[in-house]
Amino acid sequence: MVQKRILIAGDSIARGISYDDEKDRYLPLRRSFVNVLSESLSAVVRNSARFGNTLQRGADRLRTEVQTWKPDLTLIEFGGNDCDFDWRAVAENPAGRHHPSTDFSRFHSLLLELVRDVRSLGSEPVLLTLPPLDADRYFRWISGADDERGNRILKWIGSITRIYWWQERYNAAILEVARETETRCIDVRSAFLHDADYTQLICRDGIHPNESGHQLIARRVLGFFRSLDPGLLLQPSPTNASLPLPAAG
């Protein structure tokens, strides 16, 4: 039997990068959600995600990989870097005009085009929503816990809650593209928000899921695959038996 091929495309979250407090730097997680998928599915899983990827940077490469590797399914996880700003530039000039890495309308149009292209190349696209960020911790991270720098950034953004709102807009764009193109979407965000305190699933930087966060993503994604094709799931093993599968949603 020929194994199905699943391609994962995206940024550092799909790459499995998390912040290690003890070593005080970003490191790949051994139990990232993609690694759990690889161990839990009777499919070949290929991860092409890259740290720092935006949709603009990753789209062309993804098209090439779909064309050459010919995956049955392509999971697309972008947006966290696209909605981000150059916070150093903001702090230096809080009265200036600043733009995100990918403008909102551009993000929507690029994602719409990418989904259609992936499908036309013979692979079924599946979108992932964005894990929510912890606005307070993220603000402390981008301000470097420097009160003066933080005040200058705050002068530009108006309020810390706008950081959450801004990221939510990009998440809404992902959901809108899913509706417009009738594309399956794995709602990772709602899985976090259903937790009693989702901030415990986020790293010190306020944006990257920690290992517990990745386990939550893995459960949600495996739940999707169970609904899609139960035959894709391997029998529970010592490495994945602790991951009860929720209904997809």
Task: Show the domains of the chain with their CATH numbers.
Answer: 4-90+100-132+165-232 (3.40.50.1110)
> Would you tell me the crossing angle of helices 33-40 and 211-228 to the nearest 10 degrees?
40
Cα separation, 75 vs 33, in Å, equals 12
Residue-wise pLDDT tens for the chain (249 aa)?
A: 679 999 999 999 999 999 999 999 999 999 999 999 999 999 999 999 999 999 999 999 999 999 999 999 999 999 999 999 999 999 999 999 999 999 999 999 999 999 999 999 999 999 999 999 999 999 999 999 899 999 999 999 999 999 999 999 999 999 999 999 999 999 999 999 999 899 999 999 999 999 999 999 999 999 999 999 999 998 654 344 444 444 333
Distance of alpha carbon 220 from alpha carbon 47, whole angstroms? 18
Say what the pTM is. 0.92
Can you give the pLDDT at residue 30? Answer: 95
For residues 217 and 188, is the Cβ–Cβ distance under 8 A? yes
